[in-house]
Amino acid sequence: MTKTIDASIEASLALAVEAILSTDEEIALACHVTPDGDALGSMLALHLALRSQGRKSVASFSEPFAVADHYRGLSGLDALTSPSDYPA
C-alpha cells in the first residue's frame, strides 16, 4: 500500500521550504539524539547541498555528540557543529 501526502499538506510544505530557502539567514539543521543512518545521512546531505550552493548552514545533534563507528565513512562529518556551538 502506497501512502500519499494530501495536496494541501504538500503545498504547505512547499511554501515552507521556499520560505526557508529564500532567506539569507543561516539555516540551522538538527536531527535526533544518537542519530541513525537515515537521520544523520539526510541531515548531512542537505547541509552539504546547501553549502555547495553558497548557503550558510549549520548541522548538529544533541549530546552525546558521538557518531557510531559504522557511520564514520559518511561525507561531511567534519562539517558538523558541536552542540555547544549550535545557534540558540
How is 34-82 classified by DSSP, letter by letter? S--HHHHHHHHHHHHHHHHTT--EEEEEPSS----GGGTT-TTGGG---
Query: Structural domain boundaries of the chain?
Result: 25-85
Which three cell numbers, joined as nine digits, stand for 71? 557511520
The closest of 41, 23, 30, 38 to 65, measured between CA atoms, is 30
The DSSP letter of residue 26 is: P
For 44-71, the pLDDT digits (tens) are 999 999 999 899 999 999 999 999 999 9
Grid cell listed for 7: 495536496
Which pLDDT tens digit goes with each residue over 22-48? 888 899 999 999 999 999 999 999 999
